[in-house]
Chain A
Amino acid sequence: MTREKDARAGLLISPIENGTVIDHITAGEALNVLRIIGITGTTHESISVATNVESKKIGTKDIVKIKNRELLKEEVDRIALIAPRASINIIRNYKVWDKKGVEIPDRVVGIVRCPNPGCISNTNEPIQSCFLVQKKGLRCLYCDWLITKDITSHII
Chain B
Amino acid sequence: MRHIIAIRDLSREEIDGILDDAQGIQARSYDPSALEGKLLGLLFFEPSTRTRMSFAAAMARLGGNFLSVDSVEASSMAKGETLADTIRVVSRYVDAIVLRHPKEGAARLASEFAHVPVINAGDGAGQHPSQTLLDLFTIRQSMPLGGIHVGLLGDLRYGRTAHSLAHALSLYNVTIHTITPKGLELPAGLATELRDAGTEVIEHDDLASAIPGLDVLYVTRIQRERFPDSASYFKVASSYQVTPELLTGVRDHFIVLHPLPRLNEIDPRVDRLPCARYFEQAANGIPVRMAMLLRVMT
Contacts and interface: CB of A to CB of B under 8 A. Distances in A.
A144 B126 contact: yes
Contacts of B15: none
Contact of B105 (A121, A124, A136, A148): A121
Give the contact-size bracket for chain B: 20 to 34
Contacts of B36: none
Given A124-B82, A126-B82, A127-B84, A118 B104 contact: yes
A141 B108 contact: yes
Contacts of B106: 120
Q: Is the interface of B mostly helix, strand, loop or mixed?
A: mixed
Q: Is the interface of A mostly helix, strand, loop or mixed?
A: loop
A119 interface: yes
A127 B84 CA distance: 9
Nearest to B187: A146
Max chain B CB contacts within 10 Å: which of A120, A136, A140, A143? A120
Interface residues of A, number: 18
Contacts of A148: 189
Contacts of A121: 105
B84 A125 contact: yes
A50 B209 CA distance: 62
Given A125-B82, A125-B84, A146-B189, A120 B109 contact: yes
A26 B189 CA distance: 27
Contacts of B112: 127
A148 B104 CA distance: 19
A146 to B, nearest CB: 5
Nearest to A135: B196
Contact of A143 (B82, B102, B105, B189): B105
A17 B101 CA distance: 55
Contact of B103 (A118, A126, A146): A118
Given A144-B6, A148-B189, A127 B104 contact: no
Contacts of B109: 120, 125, 127, 142
Contacts of A125: 82-84, 109
A142 to B, nearest CB: 3
A142 B104 contact: yes
Interface in A99-156: 116, 118-121, 123-127, 136, 140-144, 146, 148
Interface of A: 116, 118-121, 123-127, 136, 140-144, 146, 148
13 contacts: A118-B125, A119-B103, A120-B104, A120-B106, A121-B105, A123-B103, A125-B82, A125-B83, A125-B84, A126-B82, A141-B108, A144-B8, A144-B127
